[in-house]
Amino acid sequence: MVPIILRSVIILPIYILIISSILPVLIFLKKTIVKDVSYY
């Protein structure tokens, strides 16, 4: 049984990595969607 503090210390860097890799993609997608909408 892993203590909650240790688990959160392990999960936090992974979570930050995932967010930092997903955020640019989300921003890019949002921009392209906005562009597509503005064309119509």
Tokens of 32: 């392209």
Apex 35 CA angle, 29 and 37, nearest 5: 100
pLDDT along the chain (40 residues), means of 10: 83 93 91 75
Tokens of 2: 């892993």
What burial class does residue 16 get, using C-beta atoms within 10 Å of its C-beta: 0-12 exposed, 13-18 middle, 19+ buried?
exposed
Determine the pLDDT at residue 38.
73
Determine the pLDDT at residue 8.
86
Q: Measured between alpha carbons, how far is 3 from 17 in angstroms, rounded to an integer?
A: 22
Determine the pLDDT at residue 1.
66
Look-up: residue for tokens 């392209």? Answer: 32
Determine the pLDDT at residue 40.
58
Q: Measured between alpha carbons, how far is 23 from 1 in angstroms, rounded to an integer?
A: 33
